[in-house]
Chains A and B, each alone.
Chain A
Amino acid sequence: MTTLHPAASRATDAVAGSPRRAGTGTTATRILGIATIVSMCWLVAFGLGFSPADRDQEEAVRLLYVHVPTIWLAYLAFVVTAVSSAMYLWRRSLGWDRLAGASAELGVVFMAVTLVVGALWGRLTWGVFWQWDARLTTTALLFVTYIGYLAVRNLGGSHAQRATRSAVLGLLAVLEIPLVHFSVQLWRSLHQGRTFEPNDTNMDGLMLFSLFVGVIAFTLLYTWLIIHRTRAMAMEDMIDDRGLDDALAARRAEAAAVPGADEEAH
């Protein structure tokens, strides 16, 4: 038996129907997934049910239990993106690049949720959807920045090209954020008094616990999804590579078929 070229053997695998193959899940992620769902249910029960209304904010305080965890998740995701970008530039391993990309995608999704829920909450407690304070404005600009980051990831080129470009951009975003935050803060503090403090709530034990449940639930969710997403991205890259193998084989066959070839073609 001659050993087949890996590309060739994979190509035949692909043709042989679609057998039930292992997905992106493993025992660990399944446990993680169940833990996420359970803690999400807890979050709903505590957030909407057990926790008391606030003295000042009354029932509106219940938004805190989903709003803060989504912000936390989004910022966690962007920190991971920044760190993985730096790690990629240091180590040049595509795994870091995919982690950065998957994390940015999660961050953008949850940043969008954060902005919408934040606006609703603002309407309830401040009476307006939007306040030009540093936190909100930075968050909005961060959101747009990472949409740009994801756009650059999709520009094409080889995996290494994509990885270097996006890693550099991921680090530039880190440069950008403090500047934006500081400038908005300076602007608002010079022109009017302190804006609303979103967290001017007196938290009792049960409220703190509900918030804690929320943060745990969303951290579990992040971990769970990032593992699946990174694995899916790895497979996307593999499919690209396999596409190249197939295209290469096709082109070589084309060369062999051209007449006038001497012994070298065979």
Chain B
Amino acid sequence: MDDAGFIIGSYALTFGAVILYTWRVLRRGRKLADQIPDEDKYWL
């Protein structure tokens, strides 16, 4: 069925983008956090 490809593809695309972007945000945060002493982090 042709529709299934579109539907699964769209779900894969959406969640792929979500996972990829989330991973990037968290990793960037991690990398930066290692360079900043904890006392400067206002959220702690």
Contact = CB atoms under 8 A, between A and B. Distances in A.
Nearest to B44: A22
B29 to A, nearest CB: 3
Contact of B13 (A23, A113, A228): A113
B3 A21 contact: no
B21 A225 contact: yes
A252 B29 CA distance: 32
B13 A116 contact: yes
B9 A120 contact: yes
A70 B7 CA distance: 15
B35 A14 contact: yes
B29 A228 contact: yes
Interface of B: 1, 3-4, 6-7, 9-11, 13-15, 17-18, 21-22, 25-26, 28-30, 32-38, 40-44
A13 B43 contact: no
Contacts of A109: 17, 21
Interface pairs A-B: 5 shortest CB-CB: A24-B29, A235-B32, A232-B29, A23-B33, A66-B14
Contact of B44 (A26, A123, A236): A26
A240 to B, nearest CB: 11
A234 B44 CA distance: 13
Interface range for A: 35 or more
Given A60-B7, A123-B6, A235-B29, 15 more contacts: A14-B35, A18-B34, A19-B34, A21-B34, A21-B37, A22-B44, A44-B11, A59-B3, A60-B3, A106-B21, A110-B17, A113-B13, A113-B14, A232-B25, A235-B33
A113 B14 CA distance: 6
A231 B38 CA distance: 12
B30 A24 contact: yes
Given A44-B11, A109-B17, A238 B36 contact: yes
20 contacts: A22-B38, A22-B41, A24-B29, A24-B30, A24-B33, A40-B15, A47-B11, A60-B7, A63-B6, A66-B10, A66-B11, A106-B21, A117-B13, A120-B9, A120-B13, A123-B6, A221-B18, A231-B29, A232-B28, A232-B32
A24 B27 CA distance: 10
Nearest to A234: B42
Contacts of A235: 29, 32-33, 35-36, 41
